Amino acid sequence: MKPLVTRLFTLLTFLAVEVGVLLLVFLSNMVAFFYLTRVVFVERSMVLDQAAFAQLDALRAALPGLTQWVIVVTFFASAPFLVLAAVGIPAVLVWAKRRREAVEVFWAVAGSAILNQLFKTHFHRLRPDTALFPQLGLSFPSGHAMIGMALYGCLAWQLWRHRRHPQLAVALLLWAVLIGLTRIYLHVHYATDVLAGFVAGLSWLVLLRSGLHLWWREQAKVEDSEVVG
């Protein structure tokens, strides 16, 4: 009896921590997102954007060969790669009989991509005119930053939730941040675009996780009632 009580207490503690973390992340990211929209569209301040460009321009001048590696890194949140990831990773997870995690990954990418286009259409911020490689589309928030954070954040969350490979979970988050920085380095996005992408991607991830959890819980109740009936 005592081991059972201990296991239940551990489970409840873990769930309470998970809910607390989700709520804190969501609220803090919402505050950050609205602050960034105020800076960009109300105050029209370019201080942060110009400072970020200056720092990364200095890095590019000091390390001329870095650009080719930056292009490689930025590919890992490009549209072709994200389409492949949204299909390939869930397929592998389904094959491994981890269907719920497959659903999470698919909607992390698909949902954040849809939201990103809605945000860009609404805010209609033009891209920097100093881009090293001209890009189509609008600028705020960065799609690479938002969808990349949603994808790699989802994978990191799954690892953390199952307490597997915590170092890899941290590495995935840092990888998402690095991808966002490449967009500033290449001058295809302002720093505020990238920051907004990060917080929007994390916010979507929290909403997705919470929504799917509620959906699966209700589905389980329905299945249990059908069995009893």
Average pLDDT estimate for 107-135: 95
pLDDT band at residue 16 using 50, 70 and 90 as cut-offs: low
User: pLDDT tens for residues 55-110?
Assistant: 999 999 999 899 999 999 999 999 999 999 999 999 999 999 999 999 999 999 99
Query: In 3D, which of 99, 88, 123, 94 has the Cα closest to residue 200?
Result: 123
Report the alpha-carbon distance of residue 220 to residue 207 in Å, rounded.
20
What pLDDT shows up at residue 108?
Answer: 97
Domains defined for the chain, CATH in brackets: 2-228 (1.20.144)
Q: What is the 3-state secondary structure (H, E, C) of 139-192?
A: CCCCHHHHHHHHHHHHHHHHHHHCCCCHHHHHHHHHHHHHHHHHHHHCCCCCHH
User: pLDDT tens for residues 21-42?
Assistant: 777 777 888 899 999 999 999 9
pTM, whole model, 2 decimals? 0.87
pLDDT band at residue 164 using 50, 70 and 90 as cut-offs: confident
- The average confidence (pLDDT) of the chain is 88
Residue 8 pLDDT greater than 70, yes or no:
no
Average pLDDT estimate for 116-129: 96
How many CB atoms sit inside 10 A of residue 223's CB?
10
